Structure 1
Amino acid sequence: MINFLTFSENLPSNQEISKSQFFSPFIILIQAILSQNKLKLHKQLNKQMQLLRRVYQFGSTKHRFASDITSTNRQKMNLFQAINNALDIELGANPKALLFGEDVKFGGVFRCSQGLNEKYGTDRVFNTPLCEQGIGAFGIGLASVGYTAIAEIQFGDYIFPAFDQIVNEAAKFRYRSGNQFNCGSLTIRSTWGAVGHGALYHSQSPEAYFAHTPGLKVVVPRDPIQAKGLLLASIRDKNPVIFFEPKALYRNAEDEVPLDDYELELSKAEVVQQGKHITLIGYGTSIRVLKEASKLAEKDGVSCEIIDLQTIYPYDGQTLVDSVKKTGRCIITHEAPQTCGMGAELSAFIQEKCFLHLEAPIKRVAGYDTPFPLVHEPIYLPDKFKIYEAIKQSVNY
C-alpha cells in the first residue's frame, strides 16, 4: 500500500513554493505507484512463466535453419526417404526408441518405415491394431515410463479417434502433475494435406484443431532437408509433438540431404525468400505455391518476402512481425478451410502487433469452408493464381 501519511509530510508548509517543490510530492507518489505496478507485473510474469513451465519444457537444438548445416556428406533423397533416414538414425542411436502404427512393420503405406523392421526387429518396429485411440494411448504410456515413442497415424483424417488421448491426456500430462511427470518423448507422425485424389477422407489438414492446445507442438515440413532435421528435433524434444507430413511431397520433393545426424530448431519460422513489398506466409506444400506466385508478381515489379512457419504451434511471432513491419502488407495461405484456420490466428496476431505499419488489410488465401472435394480439388486448393490475385489486390489497395 502507498503510505499517504509519509506523502503528506513531504508537502511544503510555506505558502510560497516553487513549481518543483509543488510537484515533487506528486512525482514521489507517481514513482511509488509505478514501482508497485512494476513489482506486480514482475510477479505476474514470474507466475506466468511458472505456469508455462508446467505446460512445456524448454530446450535448444543444434541448427536454426537448414542453411546452417555445412556437411558435404549428402545424398539425394525425396521426402519419404529423408523421414526414413531420420527414423533410422534415431532407432540406431537410441535403444529406447520404438516405432509403431498401422502397417508400420512392412514399411507403411507411404514406405516411410521401409527396412526398419528388418534392421531393428519386431520388438522395436511393429504393427498395431487399427485403432487410433489405442495407438495414442499406447504412445502416452510408453513415453511416460521413459521410452521414446514414435507413433504413426496413417492418415491425418483419422487422427480424430485419438483426439481425446492427444488433447486431454498427452498435452496435459505435465501440467496436471505439476511438472512431476510427463510424456514429452511422444511424437505422433501423420500424413497431411491434399494428394491429388484423396477426396474428403484422405486430404484433410487438421493442424488448427491441435494448434489450439497448450502442451502440444505441431510441425509441418516443406522439403526433405527440413523434414529430417525437424523430425529428429521433434522426437528428441521434451514435449509431445504432432509431426504432419505433406503426402503430396513424399515423392515430389527432392534435395541433397545431409547424411549426418542433425536437428533444426522448433518454433522458429524461416525467411526462405527476402522481399520488400509484401510478406507471404505459409507452411508445408504451400511454400512451393507461394514461390510460384512470387515469380508472377516479380514480373510486375513486386518483391515478395516468403516465410515458412515450420512450427505451427507454438509459432514464431517475432519473425512474422519483423517482416510485416518492413513490407507493410501480408498474405497468409493454407489448404485447410479459411474460417478459424491458422490464417485467422496469424492475421489477428499480426494486426495486433503491426496495425500502424499496415498499408493494406491482411489477406487470407485458403481452402473453402466445405468438406474436401474430389473432382473439384483443383478449384478448392489455393494455387499460384489465387495468391497472385491477392498480391495485386494488396499492393494496389
Structure 2
Amino acid sequence: MAILCAVPYFGSRPLVASAAALLLVAFGAFEPGAGVHGAPVLAAGGVIGTLLVVWAAQRFVWGHIEAVWPRLSPWRWHAAVATATVSGMVFAGYRVGAFASSSERHTSALLLGGVVVGAMGALTLAYSRAHTRIRQGLEAIPGADELGVLLVLEAGETLFVIGGMALCAFAPVAAAFAVLPAAGLIASAYFLLRAREESERMACPACATSTHRAAQRCPGCGAPREPSALDVIGRTSRRPAVDMQAHVFTLLARCRCRACAEPLAAGGPQACCARCGAKAFPAPDDIRLFLRAADRALLRILPLLALIGAVPIIGLVAGLCVLRLSSANAVAAHGRWKHRLVARAVRVGVLLAFSLLQMIPFVGAGVVPLIAVASHLSNRRPLQRAATEAASSAPVEPAPPATA
C-alpha cells in the first residue's frame, strides 16, 4: 500500500515525481524494503536520477519536435505513457530492494518484490493512459489554451505531485486519498470548459451545423450570420459585434478563423482554416491592418504590465498571464518561431534571462513590458516581411488603352 499509493503521481507527472523521489531518497526519507541489505542510496539515486534526466530530455525534445512536425504528435502521448510506467516500476523496485544483491534475500522476498513491481507498472500504465485521454480531451477544447487553463492545471498538478510524494514517505494512507481532490479538479475543469465551449455555439438555421456565436458565416454551408462580440478574454458576449474590423482582429488574435471563428491549426501569414477554407490574411493589406491593431493593443497594456511586474516573481507570472490573455499578444499567435527549433531555444533563453532581472526591485517593473515588446517585435518582423513580399509579387493589372 505504501508503494502503490504513488501510482497517481508517477502516472500524471513522471518528471516531477521522479525529481521528488530523488530528493527524498537523498535525504533518506524512503527506507528500502529489504532490511539492512536493501538498496544502496547512491545506486538507487543514480538510477532514478538518470531516469529523470532521460525524461526531461524527452519532454524537451518532443515539445520542439511536435511544434516543427505536428504529424508526430501522437507519439508524444505514447512516449509519456511509457516513461510514466518505467518511472513507477523503478521507484517500486527501489522500495522493495530490487537494487540489492539477490543472494542477500529470500526467494519469497524476491517473488513478493516482483509482484509489487509488476502491480506498480500495471496500475501506473492504466492511470497514465486515463490521464493522457483526459489531457487530450482538454487540449481539444479551444478555451483551455486560450484562457491559460492548461497552464494553471499543470502548475496545480506539479504542486499536487510534490506534496503527494512527500506524503508517500511520511503518510502513505493520506497519500492514497490525496489523489481525489486533484482528480476532481481536473474532471471539473474538463466539464466546465466543455460546457463553456458548447454554450458559445449554436446550430446553423440553414444546415444545423454547430457554429460559433462569433462566426460571420457558417462553416458548413457558408450562410452569413450576425456575429456576437468577444470580450477582453475571448468569450462571446450577448451584444452583437458592431466594428467588424476590430472583431476580425480579436478573432485572429485568438488564432481563430476570421470567417467561421473556429480555431486555426497554426498561425502565420499563410494560415488557412480547415473547416471553411478561409485564409487568415487574404491580402497583404489585411496583414498591415492586423499589425497596426496589434501595435495599439500593446501600447495600451504596457502601463498595466509595468505596474504588475513591479512585484518580484509573482508579478512576472501574473504579468505574463495578463499578456497571454489580452489582445496585446496577438502577433505571437502567428509567429513563425514556433516551427523553428533554434528560434524556440533562443526565446526560452531570453525569457529565462529576463526572469532573473525581474527579481531586482524597481528594475523588475520594466522586465514584463520588455518581454512583451521583444516578443511583439520578433514576431512582427516576419509578418511585415510577408506582407511586403506578397504585395511585390502581386500581379499588376495593365492600364486600359487610352481612347482618342
TM-score normalized by the length of structure 1: 0.23
> What TM-score, normalized to structure 2?
0.22
Structure having the larger proportion of residues in helix:
2
